[in-house]
Amino acid sequence: MADIQLYHFPGSAPCRSVIMTAKALGVPLDLKPLDLMNKDHLSPEFAKINPDQTVPTIIDGDFTLWESRAIMRYLVAKYGGEDNSLYPRDLQKRAAVDRLLDYDLGVFYRAMIECVWLPFRDKIKVTKEQDEKVIKAFERIDTHVKDMKFLTGNTLTIADFAVVVGFAAEELYPGDMSKYPNAMAWYKRVQELPYYKEANQSYFELLEKYQIGKSEK
């Protein structure tokens, strides 16, 4: 069987969540980097593959799929065996994962991108509303994970992969992360996964490029 092709942009958060899922499942990926800065994704060739022209996009045989959370669900369903705890079959356990994935898509990830990453990248001053949105997002994760190892209980799921790639924007966030000790303990736990470093290498390189890191905060 040919490896699954993954069109990605090195450093991209949703791409990293897909890479983590593949690594957790032991599914090899054939990485196809697109340079978004060079507008590679806007080429007519890529528009034929994904008319939304976004990454991550996978091609698995004759099947093409985009939207990171849909890709993660697909990979676990197809390659995770009978009942994989990364995306459990039990209706209520699965619903808890889905809720977190939806919260991430609609609220958490948006707050990180719009209120931390883009102002940082474009050197724009963060508004009071943006700052409040970020604080609320960090507070939500902190309260949510208070008595749990991972986001839906004591077992790692794809919800952790989805949220952690956005949470990693804390590296660029000038505020005081010690206010969120439960969230930071969860973040550390996820970072300790054996494949975390390799799957997120491109993000560390991006941080290095921008010369940012914990020690500089």
The yes or no reply on residue 12 touching ligand GSH (CB under 6 A) is yes
Question: Phi and psi for 189 in degrees, rounded to 5?
Answer: -60, -45
Q: Within 13 Å, how many C-alpha atoms sit on residue 143's CB side?
A: 5
- Strand pairing partners for 66? 57
As measured in angstroms, the least distance from the Cβ of 98 to ligand GSH is: 15
Provide the edge-to-edge strand list for the sheet that holds 4-8.
29-33, 4-8, 57-60, 63-66
Specify the stretch interacting with ligand GSH by CB under 6 A; choose among 47-55, 170-178, 190-198, 206-214.
Answer: 47-55
Residue from 12, 17, 85, 202 carrying the catalytic annotation: 12
Count of other CB atoms within 10 angstroms of residue 80: 21
Stretch that binds ligand GSH, among 8-16, 179-187, 188-196, 205-213 (CB under 6 A): 8-16
CB 55 within 8 A of CB 39: no
Instruction: Tell me how crowded residue 24 is: count the other CB atoms within 10 A of its CB.
Output: 23
Separation of alpha carbons 13 and 31, rounded Å: 15
- Write down the H helix ranges in 104-211: 109-112, 118-121, 128-144, 158-167, 181-191, 196-199, 201-209
Q: Which is nearer to ligand GSH, 12 or 21 (CB)?
A: 12
Asked if 16 interacts with ligand GSH (CB under 6 A), we say no
Contacting ligand GSH within 125-144 (CB under 6 A): none
Q: Which is nearer to ligand GSH, 51 or 81 (CB)?
A: 51
| Residue 146 Cβ vs ligand GSH, minimum distance, rounded to whole Å | 27
Biggest CA pair distance of the chain: 52
For the bound state, the minimum distance from the C-beta of residue 56 to ligand GSH, rounded and expressed in Å, comes to: 6
Residues 65-84 contacting ligand GSH, CB under 6 A: 67-68
Give 7 or 186: the residue with its C-beta nearer to ligand GSH: 7
Active site (annotated) includes residue 12? yes
Residue positions annotated with a catalytic role: 12
List residues binding ligand GSH (CB under 6 A): 9, 12-14, 36, 41, 53-56, 67-68
